[in-house]
Amino acid sequence: MSESTLHDRLRAEGRGGPEPRRSRSEDGAFSEEESFGAGYRDWREFGFEASGRGASDRGASDRGASDRGASDHGAAGDGRERSSARRGKKARAAVARDPAVRGIVLLLLVAAVVALVAAAALLLPSALRITHYEVAGTATMSRSEVLSAALIHDKEYFFTTDPRRVRANLLADPRIADARVRRIFPDGLRIVVSERKPVAAALAELDGEERLVLIDDTGMAFAATDPSKEPEGVENLPLVSGIRFEGFRPGTKLPDDLAPFFASLGEIEREDGALLSAFSEIRLVKPRFGETELVLYPVHYRIPVRAAAVLNASTLRSIILVLDVLGSRGLGASVAEIDFRTGTVVYRSKEGQSG
């Protein structure tokens, strides 16, 4: 397309340059080149600048689109992350609500605890050996005798030592009435024993010789004394005669019908033990008809006293008072026996008189 045709078209569209100026030359001819050329150059400049701005605008638009794309991409990424987090939260909630899953988790926890306990049971016993033994409550038994009765060996461990077993071993010894056993972490064992207390003594043949047998308030003959070292206080115990032991062994239980008698001795011992020491011997008498009776022999008077099988402190005080009165009046030598069985004092004189 020629330049004049292009110019005419642009001018028709309203985008052409200025009209070319005509001028007469010296020879009278008109020339349009300079004016038209200047207009053409203006149009080219105009067209170039318009084209540059369009490209710039398109670049800016492209950058905006790129920025929007990046923004849209970032928003989409954040949305995907939030969606993923929501899905994970819902999945965890669903797992937590599932009874089967909860049961499996609980089983795993229990298995872990059992495994820890098993490991501790295997490893700790050998490390926690009992080396400190505390023994309390003894009256006549030594520490070594208590430990021997408890069947304590040289190697005892904290977790394998059963206090109930140790207590059962102690109670198997007739000398021990009760016992308490407690482990003290990490290497201690405390034993508190309650020994049987004798309220009377009896004679029995043991190993070919006659020895004193100690009897408590339950009627148990729990120990035989060693003549070379009798326990302290044995000499103050009343000697109970009329009991026959055959093949005596410590822990022998006396007949049940004698239990009230020994129980009454225990009550008197706890109330006023000096009352029993006023009598050297108490003989059990079983008549052909009737219940068991007692014959008491005072230490300071040679007058036997007959009484019922169950004694009490008040009866013993009354007996001692009567003996003191007879002795102070010089009548002790003439009285053969005093009878307290009926609650009324009856004495029989050696001449066959009674009062």
CA 261 – CA 307 distance, rounded (Å): 11
Asked whether residue 71 carries a pLDDT value surpassing 80, the answer given is no
Report which of residues 77 and 43 the model is more confident about.
77
Q: What is the DSSP letter of 172?
A: T
The 10s digit of each residue's pLDDT in 80-118 is 666 666 666 665 665 556 677 777 878 889 889 888 877
Ranges 9-13, 288-292, 311-315, 344-348: which has the least confidence: 9-13
Ranges 70-84, 178-192, 274-288: which has the least confidence: 70-84
Domain edges within the chain: 38-97, 128-195, 200-349
Angle 259-272/313-328 helices, nearest 10 degrees? Answer: 70
CA 152 – CA 161 distance, rounded (Å): 9
Asked whether residue 269 carries a pLDDT value surpassing 60, the answer given is yes
pLDDT, residue 97, reads 62
pLDDT mean over 272-298: 92
The 10s digit of each residue's pLDDT in 185-215 is 989 999 999 999 999 999 998 888 889 999 9
pLDDT, residue 123, reads 66
The answer to whether 202 and 215 are in contact (CB under 8 A) is yes
Closest-CA residue to 138 (of 151, 150, 156, 153): 150
Ranges 2-6, 27-31, 186-190, 235-239: which has the least confidence: 27-31
pLDDT mean over 53-77: 49
| CATH architecture designation of domain 128-195 | Roll (3.10)
Angle 99-127/33-97 helices, nearest 10 degrees? Answer: 60
CA 52 – CA 54 distance, rounded (Å): 5
pLDDT, residue 65, reads 47
DSSP E strands: which ranges in the chain? Answer: 23-24, 30-31, 132-136, 176-184, 188-195, 200-206, 209-215, 220-224, 239-241, 252-253, 279-285, 293-298, 305-308, 335-339, 346-349
Mean pLDDT score across all residues of the chain = 79
pLDDT mean over 165-177: 97
How many other C-beta atoms lie within 10 A of the C-beta of residue 308?
17
Asked whether residue 130 carries a pLDDT value surpassing 80, the answer given is yes
Q: Looking at the whole model, is its pTM more than 0.85?
A: no
Report which of residues 66 and 316 the model is more confident about.
316
How many other C-beta atoms lie within 10 A of the C-beta of residue 346?
13
Angle 3-12/33-97 helices, nearest 10 degrees? Answer: 60
Write the CATH number of the domain with boundaries 200-349.
3.40.50.10960
Of 16-30, 51-65, 224-238, the range with the highest mean pLDDT is 224-238
Asked whether residue 176 carries a pLDDT value surpassing 90, the answer given is yes
pLDDT, residue 247, reads 82
